[in-house]
Each structure stands twice: as structure tokens, then as C-alpha cells.
Amino acid sequence: MIKPSRYGGRELRTLRGHQGSVRSVAYSPDERFIVSGSFDNTVKIWDAKSGRNLRTLTGHTSWVNSVAYSPDGRRIVSGSLDKTIKIWSVE
């Protein structure tokens, strides 16, 4: 049985800033940050509370298909259609 969300399914925030479709998102382990990867070839780090874009990571030459945080939250990994995986320092 699926438990209802404590938020009742209502939208809490909308994050805007990518120039292409968003392909992947992930919360940091401490839930303070959100990372997103997009068809605009970028990875963005967001403040989860305010929704503000904190940093845009560039370096992929094609679409970013996946992003994830390391378990300790100190690194982000991204995979791209450019056939590369990049590891980024968050600090």
C-alpha cells in the first residue's frame, strides 16, 4: 500500500534555469542541494530551500543524461551523450 505524501502532492517549488530539457535530478545526501543535468550540456547545483541556482558546471560537449551525488555529498558524477563520465568536486 502506498502512503500518501505528507505534503499531499502539492507543488513546493519550481526550479528554472536550464536552456534545454532536464534529463536527471538528484538530492544531496543531506537534502540541502539538488543537482540537475540537461540537454543544454550543463550540470546545475541548486539550493533546495530557496530554489536558487548556486553553480553551473560546464565541460560536457553533449547532453547530460544522468547525475548523482556521492554518498558523502562531496562529489557529483555526470554521464553524457559525449561518451564521458565526469566527477565534479562540490566544495
Q: What is the DSSP string of the chain?
A: -PPPPTTTT---------SS-EEEEEE-TTSSEEEEEETTS-EEEEETTT--EEEEE---SS-EEEEEE-TTSSEEEEEETTS-EEEEE--
Please, what is the average pLDDT of the chain? 93
The pLDDT confidence band at residue 91, using thresholds 50, 70 and 90, is confident
Domain that includes residue 35, residue range: 22-89
The pLDDT confidence band at residue 1, using thresholds 50, 70 and 90, is low
Question: 35 lies in a domain?
Answer: yes
Question: 9 lies in a domain?
Answer: no
Question: 17 lies in a domain?
Answer: no
Question: 77 lies in a domain?
Answer: yes
Give the length of the chain.
Answer: 91
User: What per-residue confidence (pLDDT) applies to 12?
Assistant: 86
Question: 8 lies in a domain?
Answer: no
Question: 66 lies in a domain?
Answer: yes
Question: 4 lies in a domain?
Answer: no
Number of domains in the chain: 1
Question: 10 lies in a domain?
Answer: no
User: What per-residue confidence (pLDDT) applies to 33?
Assistant: 97
Over range 76-88, report the average pLDDT: 98
